[in-house]
Structure 1
């Protein structure tokens, strides 16, 4: 089994168990359960986040353009236009391909691509990239000034339960969750990460959007249960 999974992939688990192959395999199997539990929380968090931000961006774009235009199907007002250009284009192309592949039995066969179709194709990273960047050195670049404007005029309203005047709290939560999502998606080990603390950021982010939804997400999480079943490493 170790060879079938490849020793390079299993190296973190072998190192953690003193090269005990039986325990390394048990740890790897447990880790699969952990990543599944974390992914479940992150998946719901991403949907809640994108819907909340999309609602405010759509409202803002309607005011800025003087009409009800989808910011994903048509060129939105500046600065949203430049901040989202490449990711909007790729999402629209992906949604178009999906629509073209629908067979005649599909419930939406022959229908044109909708705003929601494109929204579903956007990657987690766009939501981080639309928030004011508070990383060291980000400074007052044109893009970051534009993000700050979007925060003040639109995106701050997506997080009504958080006192976050400049978006720093929200930026770091989303940035950390983006990193965690990438690790989980690539099956990278979480052995040396405080998973409980990282998942807590997801709960806090959802709570800043909607407390009832946060209670539902927290109550349905299996992360703590799985963490408590971590097998012995020695």
Structure 2
């Protein structure tokens, strides 16, 4: 490389590093032993790894959410009537029965508000511009972390959550209790699901905010993703695994 090319490369490195900012670049510089060029290469790799993980996490979030939603619909419709005599229906996000109501009250209020914002932002010609907020509208706005809070280990003193798991949520993860590891370790299925959800919520937040993944155990977190899907359906797990780029991108770490 010519002296001029070297000088140009150094200038580009210096400018990019300045706009990334010293605090954000610092972990990469530490990993790269102070080499700014390698630090920027690690930063680019981190961006690519985050994108690859986001593809997997997007599938995990949708598939797990819908598996849980289906079971909660059935459960909610079986709960009879509320104190005013109004029947509970499958639309639990609009009229949840206890103990679900207490567990998701704030989350549903926030999700409903976001659904209203989304409706207001629709184009004037949108076919649902003035449609009433539906169950599906609200469920789509619930954050990934909500499902973790419904698992009994999230609030072990709340008997209602254990009952909700026993009577509904366990059916969303039919394979969580039937694998050899679970049998050997005698780990309750709800603990397996909760712990994987907990780690994936943390990972999702790091990915969404473009935080560094330098110390993340990438194979273990990918296993969390695929295992959680396998608890729902082996076919869903295989479909997601077949599209994942995480392993390849991780192997290309500078």
Considering the TM-score relative to the shorter chain, is it more than 0.5?
A: yes
Distance 1:221 1:42 in 2: 10
1:174 paired residue number: 197
Partners of 2:208 and 2:189 in 1: CA distance = 30
Q: Once the 2 structures are TM-superposed, how far is the Cα of residue 122 of structure 1 from its aligned partner?
A: 0.3
Q: What's the CA shift string for 1:161-184, capped at 9, x where partnerless?
A: 121755111111111111111111
Alpha-carbon displacement from aligned partner over 1:134-174 (angstroms, at most 9, x marks no partner): 6xxx54x2xx3111111001000001112175511111111
3-state SS, counterpart of residue 133 of structure 1 = helix
Q: Which runs of 4+ in 1 moved over 3 A?
A: none
CA distance in 2, matches of 1:69, 1:197: 36
Larger Rg, first or second structure (1 or 2): 2
Verify: 1:195 aligned to 2:218, yes or no.
yes
Deviation at 1:98, TM superposition (A): 1.2
2:107 to 87, 92, 108: 87
Q: In 1, are the aligned partners of 2:176 and 2:189 still within 8 Å (CA)?
A: no
Change (3 A) 1:197 1:51: same
TM-score, normalization: structure 1?
0.91
**Aligned counterpart, 2:91:** 70
* 1:148 matches 2:162: yes
Given that 2:72 and 2:90 are in contact with CA atoms closer than 8 Å, whether structure 1 keeps it comes out as: no
Count of residues in Structure 1 that have an aligned counterpart in Structure 2 = 224
What root-mean-square deviation, in Å, do the aligned CA atoms of Structure 1 and Structure 2 show? 1.4
Q: Which has the higher contact order (CA 8 A, sep 6+)?
A: 1
For 1:9, the equivalent position in structure 2 comes to 24
Q: Which runs of 5+ in 2 are unaligned?
A: 1-15, 81-86, 178-186
Deviation by residue 1:87-135 (Cα, 9 ceiling, x = unmatched): 011101110121122222223222221111111100011100001116x
